Amino acid sequence: MHVLQILASATLALGFATNAHAKLLATRDNGFDWMNLTSSTKLSLAPCYDSFKCARLTVPLQYSNPAAGETQVALLVSPSNFSRSDPRYRGPILFNPGGPGGSGVSFVQELAAYFRVIIGPAYDLVGFDPRGVGFTTPSLEVFHTAAEALAFYGAYPFNANESIASFGRGYAQVQILGSLAAARASTVAESVSTPAVAMDMLAISRAFGFEEVNYWGISYGTVLGATFAAMFPHNVGRFIIDGVVNSHEWYQGTDLSSLTFTDAALTSIYEACTAAGPSQCAIWAPTASAIRARIDALLASLHVAPVPVFDDPSTGSGVVDYATLVQQLLAVAYQPYASAPGAAQAVLALERGYASAVWAGSLAQEVGELASCATGVGAQGPLEVGAAVECGDIVGPFERTIEQAREDYAAVTKMSALFGPAYYYTSPGVCTGWHLRGKDVFNGSFTTSTRTPLLVISNTLDPITPIMSGKNMSAGFARSVLLQQNSTGHTSLSGFSLCTARAIAAYVANATLPAPHTVCQPDRAIFEPAPNAALAKRDAGGELGFEEAVRAIAGNDVLVRGGVLGRMRGARMVRGGLR
């Protein structure tokens, strides 16, 4: 359900993207401007971003009411090595990076070279921006101006225990957000539901000339994938759901178990630091409990004495506080293989009073940069799309008084006293104030038999999509297999292993599933230095080997730029290349 950012490079950021800013970034990126593409019900691909092709596909705004208008879905394609007339051509495979709110366009542009090695030459790799996201139009704009959005989010309590007033303020703020959406953006907000995007996926594959949909969805993308598989079981091709959300809870609005293993994930990172030694982990101590005590002491200090950053030549000025570090720690738990070494160095510097590394990319620093691009037109902050989808998908009544919200909050913080307060008002708590529901709905069952059995993947210690959710969803889809990756992090991609990659390659090639109860190991330790050979080879135009591609994916922070922590940080992908 959730994909985020790294500790060492960024922290709690509220990014605001105006349409004009997005368009400006697109125009700057190799001179390509999405708005120059004519949207059509027929697939019309145009060259974009060097080796890719792009299109805008017209679909109904509401499938349940075709007269309501149209949506233009942005598609980016890494073309197959084979022409469409070649019998070896297998059609498109669609990607969703999670969120809700992650840009498939950006995801595929960043990772296509690596995915191509694993998936092979026969498929078009297709990234699409779901409704309300990126270059898909119409966009969801609750705020009239960037200044209005900045004022709202500047007061938003992303950590519900920052002060005694934070929880109540958060409850009031989400009521405001929901009311603004209902008054200003109800038509679009009611048209971005997961079932609507599932129907878009079928429309995309049909535009390529295929009835079967091939798909790889991570995090929230597993809700989208499970929804599609339940709605259209006979149209399921190669179908991978990775980092699995419990879709039953999602549609009931009771998704309160996400943090089941978050604390355990953080503990495993401390253990990895101890095992790696002081040469690899900057905050090394002889035991994991000693590292935890060290971090706890730093958090306690920040609670009463935040650290200022003044006139840093690269990041400007600001304050690193308790909430900032909590977000950083959660970010590390999401993708420890890519972020933990740099994060440890940043924490060590913070202990010594140097906060620039933690400050880089933080709330005010990012807001200052993005505010400079504001043009006065409509703006989108970090929560609107996620709320419109997650809350709009809820089937049936969902009302929460502030007392009931406190009960939900208590359930979340019981699972994680550290991370629960940072999680609540970026995901389940937002729905207490959001009363719009999607016009295209799904009321069916997640128990069905699909044309091709699903490959379901979960990590042993996923900090936001616990493995029991993967077991739950796999049990409902006949003949599906759950592959367990024995690693810490969010989705298998966070600690990608050759074993997992080979299982995916075999499944995509010929629908061969791994044996039931297969457990794959990651191929390097958390604090083991990440190889840069694959990145250098790609940049030089060389051919990537299988192992190089797998390792490069695990070391790429693109996987942590959206989702709940993206919402905490405000990460919105606004152009064809990820920030």
pLDDT, tens digit, 9 for 90 and up, residues 442-483: 999 999 999 999 999 999 999 999 999 999 999 999 999 999
Chain segment 520-544, per-residue pLDDT in tens: 999 889 998 766 544 444 444 556 7
Within-domain flag for 364: no
What does the alpha-carbon distance between residue 40 and residue 555 come to, in Å, rounded to a whole number? 37
Residue 315: pLDDT band with limits 50, 70, 90 = low
Chain segment 234-249, per-residue pLDDT in tens: 999 999 999 999 999 9
CA distances from 541 to 50, 204, 534, 544 (A): 13, 30, 10, 9
Quote the pLDDT of residue 574: 26
Q: Chain-wide mean pLDDT for the chain?
A: 87
SS3 392: coil
Chain segment 543-573, per-residue pLDDT in tens: 678 888 888 888 776 555 544 444 444 433 2
Range of the domain at 546: 17-140+192-253+448-563
Would you say how long the chain is, in residues? Answer: 579
- Bridge partner residues of 215 (DSSP): 94, 239
| pLDDT above 80: residue 510 | yes
Compute the average pLDDT of residues 65-91. Answer: 97
Quote the pLDDT of residue 374: 52
Residue 378: pLDDT band with limits 50, 70, 90 = low
Segment holding 86, helix H or strand E: none
Quote the pLDDT of residue 543: 65
What does the alpha-carbon distance between residue 443 and residue 439 come to, in Å, rounded to a whole number? 12
SS3 63: coil
What does the alpha-carbon distance between residue 372 and residue 187 come to, in Å, rounded to a whole number? 30
- Among 84-88, 206-210, 312-316, 352-356, which stretch is predicted with the lowest mean pLDDT? 312-316
What does the alpha-carbon distance between residue 197 and residue 134 come to, in Å, rounded to a whole number? 14
Within-domain flag for 399: no
Q: What total of structural domains would you count in the chain?
A: 1
What does the alpha-carbon distance between residue 549 and residue 501 come to, in Å, rounded to a whole number? 10
Residue 502: pLDDT band with limits 50, 70, 90 = very high
Compute the average pLDDT of residues 316-336. Answer: 89
Compute the average pLDDT of residues 384-405. Answer: 94
Chain segment 8-50, per-residue pLDDT in tens: 233 323 333 444 334 334 433 557 899 999 999 999 999 999 8
Chain segment 168-185, per-residue pLDDT in tens: 999 999 999 999 999 999
For residue 61, what is the domain's CATH number? 3.40.50.1820
Residue tagged 């038999």 (tokens): 449
Contact of 153 with 124, CB cutoff 8 Å:
no
What does the alpha-carbon distance between residue 336 and residue 3 come to, in Å, rounded to a whole number? 13
Quote the pLDDT of residue 430: 96
Quote the pLDDT of residue 525: 92
**Model-level pTM?**
0.91
Higher pLDDT, 398 or 485: 485
Within-domain flag for 367: no
Portion of the chain with pLDDT greater than 70, in percent: 84
**CA 12 to chain CA mean position, Å:** 15
355 phi, psi to nearest 5 deg: -105, 5
Within-domain flag for 312: no
CA distances from 438 to 61, 286, 392, 397 (A): 11, 52, 5, 13
